């Protein structure tokens, strides 16, 4: 049976595994540099936060055991299908960052997400995408001289 208790336990275990994996990987980077946090500082903090959230969810699930056992989870609901499609789009975006680079991937990603969120005005989708990517380019690339992932065909 698909109860909230079961799925909360599954999510808490997966979250803890991801958190511990991030902590393990973060320890390969310096935690402290000369006067400022090193490259491993924030991943270590975020991994620790994930583990804490997993523990809180697990304990909350134990405390509210009876209430959570009564709730059924329907994994194939329309709302969940929207979440699954967003997760898939984010994975494709991450692959696109490597293949197409940041700017091209983001130009594609923004209107796709807007479409999934039921925005149908094509002009608004294009304007939002172009203005967002342009603002990111000006602020980060031009003013702050930050490097973004470039397409593999330009490497």
Q: Is the pLDDT of residue 155 over 80?
A: no
Q: Dump pLDDT digits (tens) for 43-66.
A: 999 999 999 999 999 999 999 988
Q: Which of 138, 141, 119 is nearest to 130 (CA)?
A: 138
Mean pLDDT, to the nearest integer, of 132-137?
97
Count the neighbouring beta carbons within 10 Å of the beta carbon of residue 4.
16
Mean pLDDT, to the nearest integer, of 108-136?
97
pLDDT at 79: 85
Mean pLDDT, to the nearest integer, of 82-98?
95
């Amino acid at each position: 049976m698909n109860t909230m208790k079961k799925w909360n336990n599954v999510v808490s275990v997966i979250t803890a595994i991801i958190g511990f994996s991030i902590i393990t990987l973060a320890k390969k980077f310096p935690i402290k540099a000369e006067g400022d946090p090193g490259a491993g500082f924030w991943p270590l903090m975020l991994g620790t936060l994930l583990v804490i959230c997993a523990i809180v969810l697990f304990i909350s699930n134990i405390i509210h055991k009876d209430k959570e056992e009564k709730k059924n989870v329907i994994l194939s609901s329309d709302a969940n299908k929207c979440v699954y499609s967003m997760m898939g789009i984010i994975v494709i975006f991450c692959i696109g960052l490597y293949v197409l680079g940041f700017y091209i991937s983001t130009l594609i990603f923004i209107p796709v997400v807007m479409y999934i969120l039921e925005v149908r005005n094509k002009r608004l989708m294009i304007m939002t995408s172009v203005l967002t990517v342009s603002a990111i380019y000006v602020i980060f690339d031009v003013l702050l001289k930050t490097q973004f992932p470039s397409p593999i065909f330009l490497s």
